[in-house]
């Protein structure tokens, strides 16, 4: 079994990928850096969880 993500993580990830499709990809470090530049999250664990889940969202879109 995998880890369970909260609705907040899933909604934020999907919304950000829809708004900025070119900024995010299948690389965790790239996603983390893009989120860091946007300065949307003050909490590091939340940013990392969103960046990680974006890999799944981007993978399903392509």
Find the CATH number of the domain harbouring 19: 1.10.60.20
Q: Is residue 1 part of a domain?
A: no
Residue 30 domain boundaries = 7-61
The pLDDT value recorded for residue 47 is 96
- Residue that is written with structure tokens 């799944």 in the block: 56
Q: How confident is the model at residue 62 (pLDDT cuts 50, 70, 90)?
A: low
Q: What backbone phi and psi angles, to 5 degrees, belong to 17?
A: -70, -35
Asked whether residue 2 is assigned to any structural domain, the reply reads: no
**Is 33 within a domain?**
yes
Alpha-carbon distance 22 to 34, whole Å? 10
How many domains is the chain built from? 1
The residue whose two tokens read 């300065």 is 39
Q: Which residue has the tokens 């609705």?
A: 7
pTM to 2 decimals? 0.88
In this predicted model, what pLDDT tens digit does every residue of 4-38 receive, in sequence order?
889 999 999 999 999 999 999 999 999 999 999 99
């Amino acid at each position: 079994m995998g880890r369970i993500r909260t609705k907040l993580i899933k909604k934020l990830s999907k919304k950000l990928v829809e708004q900025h499709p070119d900024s995010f990809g299948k690389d965790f470090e790239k996603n983390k850096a893009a989120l860091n530049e946007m300065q949307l999250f003050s909490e590091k664990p939340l940013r990392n969880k969103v960046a990680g889940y974006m890999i799944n969202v981007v993978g399903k879109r392509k």
